[in-house]
Amino acid sequence: MKPRGPVMEEERVPYTMFVATDLIDADPETLNSYFAHMPAYRARVRTLDWGQAKAAAEGIGEIGCHTRTHARLSQISGDPARLTDEIAGARAIIERHVGQTCDSFAWPYGTASDIDAAGRAAIADAGFTSNFSAVRGAVQPGTTDVMNIPRHQLEFHWPLHELMVWARGFREP
């Protein structure tokens, strides 16, 4: 698959790629086992390598944090060491490879039931200055909580008309 970074550079569209660090450079076997329950992705997704991530960050892109293993944080919120490794640990890995500060975090899955106090505290403690959920909605300047920013989930295999529905604000509060 052709990297999309250059297109965003040409069009001058700022973007953030949220990466799960253990899946960067992952071999096809690891990816297939990760996507075992998501057949639409199997054998179709290839991940970035660190060189591509660094190049994006040196251009118009930003590399954000999406944990190490794409963990569902609400399932590990009783395990502070694991939570810290997934959040602060992933941030340190990104900064080491990319050579820039990693300020933005996005919850894996990120539905309302995935977001809890332990996760929120671990994300703030790790030093992130913005945090994206996957709860749909519009950003309201001045009122949106920067540590709980709404985000529209779009999937590559969805038809264009479906993307247009979400892009027009369907189901936004």
**Interacting residue ranges for Zn ion, rule: CB under 5 A:** 108
| b/e code 61-96 from CB counts within 10 Å (16+ = b) | bbbbbbbbbbbbbbebbeeeebbebbbbbbbebbee
* CA 121, chain centre distance (Å): 18
For residue 130, the number of C-alpha atoms closer than 13 Å in the C-beta half-sphere is: 16
Instruction: Find the shortest distance in angstroms from Cβ 150 to Zn ion.
Output: 15
Instruction: Find the shortest distance in angstroms from Cβ 111 to Zn ion.
Output: 11
Instruction: Find the shortest distance in angstroms from Cβ 20 to Zn ion.
Output: 7
CB nearer to Zn ion: give 6 or 158.
Answer: 158
CB nearer to Zn ion: give 61 or 110.
Answer: 110
Give CA–CA dist 170/74, Å, rounded.
27
Considering only CA atoms, give the Rg of the chain: 16
Instruction: Find the shortest distance in angstroms from Cβ 98 to Zn ion.
Output: 18
Residue 9 makes CB contacts below 8 A (sequence gap 6+) with 59, 60
CB nearer to Zn ion: give 23 or 126.
Answer: 23
CB nearer to Zn ion: give 77 or 107.
Answer: 107
DSSP state of 65: E
CB nearer to Zn ion: give 59 or 108.
Answer: 108
Nearest residue to Zn ion, scored by beta-carbon proximity:
108
Instruction: Find the shortest distance in angstroms from Cβ 5 to Zn ion.
Output: 19
